[in-house]
Amino acid sequence: MTLTDDRQFPAALAAAMAVPIDYADGDGIDFEPYEAFLSAEDTTDWFRAWTGNNELDGDAFRVFGQDGTGGYAAFWLVRPGLPTAEQPVVFLGSEGETAVVARDLGDFLWLLADGCGPYEAAAPYGAEWTSRPDDALTAVAERFAPDARRPAGAVIELAAEEFPDFEDTVMDLCR
């Protein structure tokens, strides 16, 4: 697969990341967006440290934010030839958590609009979670992905169904 080293945010992601994310003293979204993708070098350093495998690089990921513990949210460039916005969004937690949290950027926008971030989406399935719609993030989702509207639970479920082997794929890379 040929990957580009395009580190520019898609317009929809830039718009969403410009909206202040409400942590709400632990009851909101635990997500700290970046202003740009992590550099290729920093992504490789992180992925090698995360997996314990110095033979890897981070070319398959575009990291765009983190939770409070340092877990990363990223696009996983697994769909050959498609732009970043059409790649799945994953969470790789500081304690080894892994999950595909959205099938693409449109779904990710609706995840955020429903008050759910990557960390919350990667929580053990079935964990208690309450919808907390955010008007500003909903406006971004309506602008950039009007046909993808769905609640966070549906976004998470569809992502898990499409990529059921993500955790095994990543764990096979670990040393």
Say how many C-beta atoms besides its own lie within 10 A of residue 72's C-beta. 23
Say what the pTM is: 0.92
Domain assignment of residue 6, yes or no = no
The length of the chain in residues reads 175
Domain assignment of residue 123, yes or no = yes
Structure tokens at 26: 């632990």
Query: Burial level of 120, CB count in 10 A (0-12/13-18/19+)?
Result: buried
Domain assignment of residue 107, yes or no = yes
Structure tokens at 112: 């955020």
Yes or no: say if 91 and 98 are a contact pair by the CB < 8 Å rule: yes
Domain assignment of residue 175, yes or no = no
Domain assignment of residue 5, yes or no = no
Question: At residue 67, what is the residue type?
Answer: D
- Domain of 153, in residue numbers: 11-170
Residues of the chain with pLDDT under 50: 1-5, 126
Question: Considering its fold, how many domains does the chain have in total?
Answer: 1
Predicted local distance difference test score (pLDDT) of residue 10: 95
Predicted local distance difference test score (pLDDT) of residue 1: 37
